[in-house]
Amino acid sequence: MSESPVSPRRRERFDAPISASEVAATRQATYRANVLPPRVFHDRSIFDYEMDNWYAGGWVSVGREENALAPGQYFLASVAGENMIVVRGNDGVLRAFYNVCRHRGAVIVEEACGTAPRFQCPYHAWIYDLDGKLRQPRHTELLEGFDPGEWGLIEARCGVWQGIVYLDLSGDAPALETFLGDVVPNFARFDLGALREAGHFDYDVAANWKALIENYEECYHCPGVHPQLNKITPYNMGEYLPWNGPFIGSYMEVLPEYETLSLSGEAAGRPAIPGMTDEDEKRVYYFAIWPNQLLSLHPDYLMLHWLTPMAPDRTLVRCAWFFDPAEMAKDSFDPSDAIEFWDMTNRQDWHVCELQQQGTRSRAYTAGRYSAIESSVHGFDLMVADRYANDGVITPQHRIAKQASDAALKDRAKSMAKSRAAD
């Protein structure tokens, strides 16, 4: 009988090192709630909990299918500290494997992406086929109870939605589209998988991954931090969308005199991507999809951010831009105006996120309050707080204040002042 393990060793799931009572102040109505307790941005045990239970516990976005289209084409991905290979097999199937040799555990593939006919461990040269099967290694013929068929690469679940590749290390998450919920119908009129990457930037940000998503969820900071963005999509012209699923969705309106988010505000001759309605053409959609994907759909391009948490105070971010291949084929195609705009905007965001990371470490800091236009931040924080509490209670959506218009906010402030005066 072989004693080879059939599944990778998994750390036991354990209770969150933060209690329901500690996040109770966040699980209130927005106008009464406190932001998340500061230690969730710094505590190593909380970070480990998030990686073991959330990132290794369900679907996580890792890249684009276009980077593994041909047989043997692969890319590496990091999920909860695990080094994963995503590769297209000779049979056309996209698979994911732990990048760990079954012999004495060396990492097998060192190049971040490429094409390989098979994988050969650099240590003692064990060879694995693209479907993970181990070929009979040298000098193993005499081993007792050793069947190479049982010593292939350890596989993880791999799924694709709209050209985006997801992995599920737990093996027991619901089907990918079930997990994504209403993310799927929200983008059903588009074929985002048909778009192609025109470029990407990698950033190493000294901030907690949750701080980056919170930052993405509000435009309260836009007038001061992003004057260029605020000129094209003013911070108070947006709405968040109803949701049912692991995401927070919203849109910002593009002012009539502009076409898209770029340095010039123009789309450089690019039409809207296929599937856009007239309404879509004047909007930028922002979706934060649990746990690590930011999906920003502009009239003429898609932008994706992948967040890879490395430590409580460090997150690697890849930001990539995708366009209609028909536009990319034209001699006149030049995406630099859009890419440079967002590179500038990204850096502006990382800077304030790093400031938040530094300040929330202070002994003087206690959890602050949400402004009336940070409802989506509260929405994301509730996803976090409910998961820490793990008490079966999903904080109801009506606790999240609807993004109020300026006029409604003024009315509300006036009536509150009146009632205070009457007290």
By CB under 6 A, residue 128 contacts ligand FES = no
- The CA-based angle 233-35-243, given to 5 degrees, is 55
Closer by beta carbon to Fe ion, 108 or else 205: 205
* Contacting residue, 47, 75, 119, 126, with ligand FES by CB under 6 A: 126
For residue 69, give both structure tokens. 């289209």
Among 8, 67, 89, 103, binds ligand FES (CB under 6 A): 103
Burial 94-133 (b: 16+ CB within 10 A, else e): bbbbbbbbbbeeeebbeeeeeebeebbbeeeebebebbbe
CA distance 151 to 406: 63
Q: What is the C-alpha separation between 407 and 11, in angstroms, rounded?
A: 52
Determine, following the binding rule CB under 5 A, whether residue 374 of this chain makes contact with Fe ion.
Answer: no
Region of 56-64, 120-128, 305-313, 395-403 interacting with ligand FES (CB under 6 A): 120-128
The 3-state DSSP class for residue 365 equals: coil
313 close to 207: Cβ distance less than 8 angstroms: yes
Residue 121 binds to ligand FES (criterion: CB under 6 A): yes
Question: What separation in angstroms does the CA of 75 have from each of 83, 87, 168, 229, 307?
Answer: 11, 7, 16, 33, 16
Applying CB under 6 A, does 138 fall inside the site for ligand FES?
no
Torsion angle defined by CA atoms of residues 395, 59, 238 and 212, in that order, rounded to the nearest 10 degrees: 90
Closer CB to ligand FES, residue 106 or residue 143?
106
CB of 298 to Fe ion, least distance (A): 15
The secondary structure element, H or E, covering residue 139 is none
Q: How far is the CB of 232 from Fe ion (least distance, A)?
A: 13
Cα–Cα dist 55/34, whole Å:
25
- Binder to ligand FES among 21, 70, 104, 139 (CB under 6 A)? 104
CA distance 103 to 88: 23
Task: Considering only the stretches 122-130, 240-248, 346-354, 384-392, report the one whose residues sit in contact with ligand FES under the rule CB under 6 A.
Answer: 122-130
Long-range contacts of 1-5 (CB under 8 A, 24+ apart): 1/145, 2/145, 2/146, 2/147, 2/150, 3/145, 4/102, 4/150, 4/151
Contact between 124 and ligand FES per CB under 6 A:
yes
- How far apart (Å, rounded) are the C-alpha atoms in residues 210 and 291? 9
What does 413 bind: ligand FES, Fe ion, none (CB cut-off 5 to 8 Å by kind)? none
For residues 125 and 175, which CB has a smaller minimum distance to ligand FES in the complex? 125
Q: How many residues bind ligand FES (CB under 6 A)?
A: 10
Nearer to ligand FES (CB atom), residue 135 or residue 418: 135
Indicate whether 123 belongs to the interface with ligand FES (CB under 6 A): yes
The entry of Fe ion, ligand FES, none that residue 349 binds, CB within 5 to 8 Å by partner kind: Fe ion
In the chain the first and final C-alpha atoms are separated, in Å, by 80
Of Fe ion, ligand FES, none, which one does residue 103 interact with (CB within 5 to 8 Å by kind)? ligand FES
Please report how the helices 375-389 and 209-216 are oriented relative to each other, as an axis angle in degrees rounded to 10. 150
| Residue 300 found at the interface with Fe ion (CB under 5 A) | no
Residue 381: CB minimum distance to Fe ion, A: 17
Q: Which residue is nearest to Fe ion (CB)?
A: 349
Which one, 106 or 417, has the nearer CB to ligand FES? Answer: 106
Q: Which is nearer to ligand FES, 103 or 361 (CB)?
A: 103
106 scored as a contact of ligand FES (CB under 6 A): yes
Regarding 217 and contact with Fe ion (CB under 5 A), the answer is no
Q: Which listed range, 170-178, 259-267, 347-355, 404-412, lies at the site for Fe ion (CB under 5 A)?
A: 347-355
Assign residue 263 a region (left: φ > 0; alpha: ψ between -120 and 50; beta: otherwise): alpha
Q: Which is nearer to ligand FES, 39 or 103 (CB)?
A: 103
> Which of 346, 313, 124 shows the shortest CA–CA distance to 226?
346
Report the residue from 22, 50, 218, 349 that binds Fe ion according to the rule CB under 5 A: 349
The residue ranges that bind ligand FES (CB under 6 A) are: 101, 103-106, 121, 123-126
